């Protein structure tokens, strides 16, 4: 299945850094107009100006905190005010918390569910109906390899990404006959500033890939009409092997890998 990018418009959440920024650059390079969404206005404006100058496409900035109630409605209103139609929705913005569950700030975990789960559903509701009416569209949701197993000490993050994977795979089938491609991107470790933003360093596992590789793999999977994709063969093999293991065994394995330093050497 071919996908024609040029002249269409993509809305990318979390476009101010990391994977989202690389999505914006890659799509602008392919001739798409881009709508960049995140909280960091300055970074978005700088990127928008650069992309318009470099590729001659239209770049719009919508500053929004997607962890807030009704954020998606505000984004949709801003899109409509500018007279835009969204052909491709990239739900990429996300955050992760890491520590023993009772040490985590409940407010941060609430924001995490709002951002990683609620905003994804709300934005899909905001933009898929008009894609369906036009009989064409695409949505790429950034999940994670964490979607495939319960992860102690990152319980909320892994559960949120499991939601995104399941949600994407289900909608991929619902919308298949209506010309809309839905793809979940499930990377392992990606070289971005994501891990510095969690309060503690998260132990690394599996192959680390570049944001460029993650984006190229996601776009290829979308073009091929795949409902989900794990970039990197080693990471694909490791997830394949988990199919034959019990989920509790997987959770115990993740727990021994992820156990925070503070729990290994508790201070008395």
Ligand X SMILES: NC(=O)c1ccc[n+]([C@@H]2O[C@H](COP(=O)([O-])OP(=O)(O)OC[C@H]3O[C@@H](n4cnc5c(N)ncnc54)[C@H](OP(=O)(O)O)[C@@H]3O)[C@@H](O)[C@H]2O)c1
- Tell which residue, 195, 263, 214, 267, has the closest CA to residue 19: 214
Task: Please select the residue that binds ligand X; options are 9, 10, 11, 14, rule is CB under 6 A.
Answer: 14
**Interface with ligand X includes 257 (CB under 6 A)?**
no
Query: How far apart (Å, rounded) are the C-alpha atoms in residues 14 and 142?
Result: 10
Placement of tokens 């009416």 in the chain: 133
Closer to ligand X by Cβ: residue 84 or 113: 113
Residues 6+ apart with CB under 8 A from 85: 9, 130, 134
- Tell which residue, 91, 108, 127, has the closest CA to residue 14: 91
Q: Which long-range contacts (CB under 8 A, 24 or more apart) does 43-46 make?
A: 43/16, 43/17, 44/15, 44/16
CB 222 within 8 A of CB 138: yes
Query: How far apart (Å, rounded) are the C-alpha atoms in residues 132 and 147?
Result: 27
**Interface with ligand X includes 40 (CB under 6 A)?**
yes
Closer to ligand X by Cβ: residue 178 or 198: 198
Closer to ligand X by Cβ: residue 88 or 115: 115
**CB of 264: closest distance to ligand X in angstroms?**
23
Residues 117-146 that bind ligand X (CB under 6 A): 142, 144
Phi, psi of 178 (to 5 degrees): -110, 15
**CB of 188: closest distance to ligand X in angstroms?**
6
| Catalytic residue from among 5, 55, 153, 157 | 157
**CB of 194: closest distance to ligand X in angstroms?**
3
**CB of 67: closest distance to ligand X in angstroms?**
4
Of 73-81, 131-139, 188-196, 251-259: span binding ligand X (CB under 6 A) = 188-196
Of 28-36, 170-178, 184-192, 216-224: span binding ligand X (CB under 6 A) = 184-192
How many residues at the interface with ligand X, by CB under 6 A?
Answer: 30
CB 190 within 8 A of CB 210: yes
Query: How far apart (Å, rounded) are the C-alpha atoms in residues 218 and 212?
Result: 10
Task: Please select the residue that binds ligand X; options are 81, 193, 256, 265, rule is CB under 6 A.
Answer: 193
> Which two structure tokens, joined as six digits, stand for 14?
């979390």
Task: Please select the residue that binds ligand X; options are 3, 30, 31, 39, rule is CB under 6 A.
Answer: 39
Of 25-33, 89-97, 148-156, 249-257: span binding ligand X (CB under 6 A) = 89-97
Helix (H, G, I), strand (E, B) or coil at 210: coil
Active-site annotation holds for 157 = yes
**Interface with ligand X includes 197 (CB under 6 A)?**
yes
Binding site for ligand X (CB under 6 A): 13-20, 38-40, 64-67, 92-96, 115, 142, 144, 187, 189-190, 192-194, 197
What amino acid positions are annotated as catalytic residues? 157
């Amino acid at each position: 299945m071919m996908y024609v990018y040029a002249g269409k418009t993509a809305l990318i959440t979390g476009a101010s850094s990391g994977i989202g920024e690389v999505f914006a650059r890659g799509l602008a390079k392919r001739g798409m107009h881009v709508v960049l969404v995140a909280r960091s206005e300055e970074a978005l404006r700088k990127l928008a100006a650069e992309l318009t100058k470099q590729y001659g496409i239209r770049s719009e900035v919508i500053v929004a905190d997607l962890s807030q109630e009704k954020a998606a409605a505000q984004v949709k209103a801003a899109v409509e005010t500018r007279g835009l139609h969204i052909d491709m929705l990239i739900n990429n913005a996300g955050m992760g918390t890491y520590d023993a569950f009772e040490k985590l700030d409940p407010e941060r975990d609430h924001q995490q569910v709002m951002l990683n789960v609620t905003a994804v559903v709300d934005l899909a509701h905001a933009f898929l109906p008009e894609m369906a009416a036009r009989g064409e569209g695409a949505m790429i949701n950034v999940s994670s390899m964490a979607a495939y197993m319960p992860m102690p000490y990152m319980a909320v993050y892994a559960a949120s990404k499991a939601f995104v994977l399941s949600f994407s795979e289900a909608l991929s089938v619902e919308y298949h006959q209506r010309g809309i491609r839905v793809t979940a991107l499930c990377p392992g470790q990606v070289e971005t500033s994501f891990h510095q933003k969690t309060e503690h360093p998260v132990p690394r596992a599996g192959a680390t890939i570049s944001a460029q590789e993650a984006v190229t793999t996601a776009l290829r999977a979308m073009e091929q009409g795949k409902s989900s994709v794990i970039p990197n063969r080693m990471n694909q093999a490791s997830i394949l092997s988990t199919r034959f293991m019990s989920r509790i065994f997987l959770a115990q394995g993740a727990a021994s890998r992820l156990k925070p330093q503070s729990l290994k050497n508790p201070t008395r």
